[in-house]
Structure 1
Amino acid sequence: MSAAPAPVPSLLAVFAHPDDESLVAGGVLAQHAASGARTSVLTTTWAPDSHRAAELGEAVRVLGAGRPRMLGYADARVPESAPGAPRFLDVPLDEAVGRLVGHLRDFRPDIVVTHDAYGGLTGHPDHVHTHRTTLLAVHAAGLEHHAPESGPPWQPRALYLATHPHSGVGDLGPLLTRVGKAVRSVPEEHVTAAVDVRPWLERKWSAILAHRSEVERPRPLPGALSRLPAEDRDRIIATEYFTRLDARPDGGPEGGPERRRARLEA
């Protein structure tokens, strides 16, 4: 008798802005949800009563990622994103880490996905700060004496950083430079998993389109993608790249030449 397949690990995506989740991890979010895994998205900026929060709610519904979780801080470049709230960049680090720890212990994910140390290809400061804060929170969440008021400790098994190898930039690089954005990619050996998300491409693209206010503008990536021929657009968003960091203290090395994966593994 063959062994039953291992359950698909639960996944929490932590990103800076509404639309980041759909652009860089929409495929794996849809994939994990379609496989019956618990999935959720936590966004560090924009107020829960803003128009972009409403768009985020529609996007995560399309992806099957439950209700949005939002910290509600202001975008570094858009103060009106959260009137009366501080910029995420200006919040004391202990406060931001503590709030993320609370969400990690509440959702109890096997896998956490966030931005890489560059903050993705464009290096937005909110992306970079979300990366730093999430790294600290993932480790702190498993410590029993850290923020005991946030609930019992919970240690995710793996942390994946959404990234792009030099070879994976392709048509996306010129698309970004054309609108004045930076392109920061990583060497091939930094990429642990390259996930083919073509089976979930229609759902991923629908989630991107849910961010209507960004689609309507030419400079944000949703808008730039929407102006491409479908074949070119699909080629750009059909693979999602990640660097794995083992989150548990006893985690072993990960990586090597066989980096193409069917999905993210805990």
Structure 2
Amino acid sequence: MQLRLMAVHAHPDDESSKGAATMARYVREGVSVLVATCTGGERGDVLNPKMDRPEVKENITEIRRAEMNAAREILGVDQAWLGFVDSGWVENYDPADPGSLPEDAFARVPLEQATEPLVKLIREFKPHVIITYDEEGGYPHPDHIMTHLISMDAWDAAGDPERYPDAGEPWQPLKLYYHMGFTKERVIALHEELLAMGEESPYGEWLENWTRPDKTSRVTTRVPCGDYFELRDDALRAHATQIDPDGWWFRVPLDVQRKRWPTEDYELVKSMVGAQPGEDDLFAGVREPADAEG
């Protein structure tokens, strides 16, 4: 039986900046991978100055869909839109007070209503493993926090026949992970490697002013995927409205990344098959049961 992995993301481009090399690796190992994109990124700014033109802003929804298609093809994944509307960025957003957001914003949709499309998709695709964002959304964008909320609610609901009875036959995923991308340990390792080479590091000022909680201790699983970093970067560049090809994302050479941090890292937070200390595979503990299902 083919293993199945679902990645739940807030906007088009998030799939390419969070776990893309992991997905590319698993696809090429025969795993079926589906990206669930909650919103269309309609309220996203044009972050690449080379694309900051009036006609781009006027057609941002269609352009971001086309970018998502290009990134999907590069990674080799399948992708589905959940159909919600981008909430937009709000400085110092308080999830307890979503009234500052537009009325049609994803983050203002009642949780029970917002969860249903994801439950339906889980029951259709039947993933063994889900990856999503932590309780802070990875960073505190309203849509990222909402993505976390519906992912956790859908985990509970997908296998419960009494919830969303019209959304398909119940299916219980076996594991759920949070992305753990920019841990302080990883940033320090890359920073120190660049300095040791006599190169400039893009992380110096960030480390000097580091205020975010360090989540290094929460990492349970490190997936080796350095061979797929180039595909990850190609997928990122496909999101041309969001990613400057000469920008910050690409300032650490791939050989440095492969030498000092050749993994993408995760926290296992839900498991029906137990926990495997020091995991290097999101399907640890799953492969044998999945094979036994036929």
Q: TM-score, normalised by structure 1?
A: 0.79
Q: Which residue of structure 1 aligns with residue 119 of structure 2?
A: 101
Pick the aligned partner of 2:135 from 89, 99, 117: 117
Deviation for aligned residue 1:231: 4.4
Per the alignment, residue 141 of structure 1 pairs with 158
Pick from 206, 231, 237 the counterpart of residue 203 of structure 1: 231
Superposed CA offset, 1:138-164 (max 9, x none)? 110000111111100011110011014
Q: What residue is the counterpart of 1:241 in the other structure?
A: 265
Contact 2:86/2:143 (8 A) holds in 1: no
Flag the structure with larger Rg.
2
Residue 174 of structure 1 aligns with which residue? 203
Cα 1:33/1:103, change in 2 over 3 Å = same
Aligned to 2:56: none
Deviation digits for residues 74-99 of structure 1 (CA, Å, limit 9, x no counterpart)? 23329xxxxx9811111111111111
In terms of mean alpha carbon deviation, does 159-168 or 34-43 score higher?
Answer: 159-168
Q: Could you tell me which residue of structure 1 aligns to residue 215 of structure 2?
A: 186
CA offset at residue 123 of structure 1? 3.1
The one of 144, 160, 184 equivalent to 2:177 is: 160
Q: CA RMSD in A?
A: 3.0
User: Quick one: percent identity of the two aligned structures?
Assistant: 28
- Residue pair 1:76, 1:89 contacting (<8 A) in 2 also: no
Higher relative contact order (CA 8 A, sep 6+): 2
Deviation track 1:164-188 (CA, whole Å, cap 9, x = no partner) reads: 443123348837949x997443142
> What corresponds to 2:248 in structure 1?
224
Contact 1:10 1:32 in 2 (8 A): no
Question: Who is 1:60 aligned against?
Answer: 72
Between the two proteins, the alignment pairs up a number of residues equal to 243
**By how many angstroms is 1:228 displaced?**
5.0
**Compared CA separation, residues 38 and 19, structure 1 to 2 (3 A):** same
Q: Distance in 2 between matches of 1:14 and 1:163?
A: 14
5+ residue gaps, structure 1, are 1-6, 79-83
